[in-house]
Amino acid sequence: MQTRFVEANGFRFAVDEEGEGDHLALCLHGFPESRFSWRFQMPVLAQMGYRVWAPDLRGYGETEPKPKAMKDYLIDRLMEDVGALIDASGAKKVTLIGHDWGAGLAWAFAANRVRPLERLVIMNVPHPAVMAAQLRTNKAQRKKSWYMFFFQLPGVPEWTLTANDGRAIRRAFFDMAKDKTNFGPEVLERYARDAQRPGAIRGMVNWYRAALRLQGKMAGPWDVIETPTLIIWGEEDAALGIELLDGTEEYVRDLTIRRLPGVSHWVQQEAPQKVNPILQAWLPSLEPSLP
């Protein structure tokens, strides 16, 4: 694995890369994560024949600049980033993999057909149309999603998340995880430090502000996704109820769901020993590229 910097859509994206070939597996992280969250999947995907990219997304980690305005985090702009990264890779085929907010972005990217996709993998985030419906009708989910509304306040979320050396960021991982083995001090330190980079926490929170207040393509309408889609879902997700899977089939033509009992929201980091075999079984292994 190596880290490279990729110029795309006016940004300098920090990208972890492993493997080679013309089929790109592009891994999109969530909140409050970074490219580091795919450390357990990248070697496996590379061994399967994929060229794997895991970027720090707009506003996160070592990717620069970090825009200040909420409008710069509209889903429409974020989809442009993904398209530009794909173009910069030069890949002929793309498999898109996302977790949490990265999965929300992947849903939107696939539904809007920004670029052709071979496969779509979603981890622990519902289809945006299902999420919107649940927030309207499901009181329990609204209670679980309290932080999304808290993040609409000016300034307060940024202070709360980074105070006491990023204590809230550290607790988000450690407290929610069921198996805390992969969330030792050095991992929590990595995420806390990334969130404390200049401009980072404002950008990270602005993903939520733009989604609720500006919406853009997040408001729909939602075309049916024709790309074969796999959902991997840790059932012990403290932020998102398992019922948020219900109705997904209305928006995806070819849908496979794998539920993991006893696993939290941080599914690919907490349980790579369960997630990776699912990826290996569902994704096609690729023939090595000829010289």
Residues 221-254: tens digit of each pLDDT:
999 999 999 999 999 999 999 999 999 999 999 9
281 in the Ramachandran plot: left (φ > 0), alpha (ψ -120 to 50) or beta?
A: alpha
| Residue 208 designated active-site | yes
Rounded (5°) CA angle 55-59-64: 75
Give dist(CA 24, CA 4) in Å, integer. 15
Rounded-to-integer distance, Cα 278 and Cα 274, Å = 7
Q: Which two tokens mark 143?
A: 């209670």
Per-residue pLDDT band at 287 (split at 50, 70, 90): low
- When pLDDT is averaged across residues 152-180 and rounded to a whole number, the result is 97
Show the tokens assigned to 58. 């707009």
Instruction: Provide CB contacts within 8 A for 221, sequence distance 6+.
Output: none
Average pLDDT, the chain: 96
pLDDT for the residue numbered 290: 41
> What superfamily does domain 2-282 belong to in CATH?
Alpha/Beta hydrolase fold, catalytic domain (3.40.50.1820)
Catalytic residue, chosen from 56, 100, 194, 237, is 100
Give me the pLDDT at residue 288, please: 57
Q: What is the pLDDT of residues 81-106, one digit of tens each?
A: 999 999 999 999 999 999 999 999 99
Tell me the mean pLDDT in the region 151-171: 97
| C-alpha–C-alpha distance, residues 244 and 138, integer Å | 10
Three-state secondary structure call for residue 3: strand
CA–centroid distance for 202 within its chain: 18
21-40: pLDDT as tens digits: 999 999 999 999 999 999 99
Q: What is the pLDDT of residues 121-158, one digit of tens each?
A: 999 999 999 999 999 999 999 999 999 999 999 999 99
In the three-class reduction of DSSP (H, G, I as helix; E, B as strand; rest coil), residue 184 is classed as coil
Looking at the predicted structure, is the pLDDT value of residue 291 above 50? Answer: no
Active site residue 100: yes
Long-range contacts of 288-291 (CB under 8 A, 24+ apart): 288/21, 288/49, 289/20, 289/21, 289/22, 289/49
Residue 216: CA atoms inside 13 Å, Cβ hemisphere, count?
20
Contacts of 102-108 with CB under 8 Å at 24 or more apart are 102/27, 102/28, 102/29, 102/30, 102/33, 102/57, 103/28, 103/30, 104/75, 104/128, 104/211, 105/28, 105/57, 105/75, 105/78, 105/79, 106/28, 106/82, 107/225, 108/75, 108/78, 108/79, 108/217, 108/218
Q: State the burial class of residue 64 (Cβ atoms within 10 Å of its Cβ: 0-12, 13-18, 19+).
A: middle
pLDDT in tens, 67-76: 999 999 999 9
Active-site residue, from 60, 73, 191, 208: 208
197 secondary structure, DSSP code: S
Residue-wise pLDDT for 194-215, tens only, equals 999 999 999 999 999 999 999 9
Q: What pLDDT, on a 0 to 100 scale, did the predictor assign at position 264?
A: 98
Sequence-distant (6+) residues with CB within 8 A of 116 are: 94
Q: What percent of the chain has pLDDT over 70?
A: 98
Question: In this predicted structure, what is the pLDDT of residue 286?
Answer: 85
Question: Which among 23, 99, 127, 265 is annotated as catalytic?
Answer: 265
> What is the pTM assigned to this prediction?
0.96
Instruction: Give yes or no for residue 289 having a pLDDT over 60.
Output: no
At which residue do the structure tokens 């977790």 appear?
Answer: 99
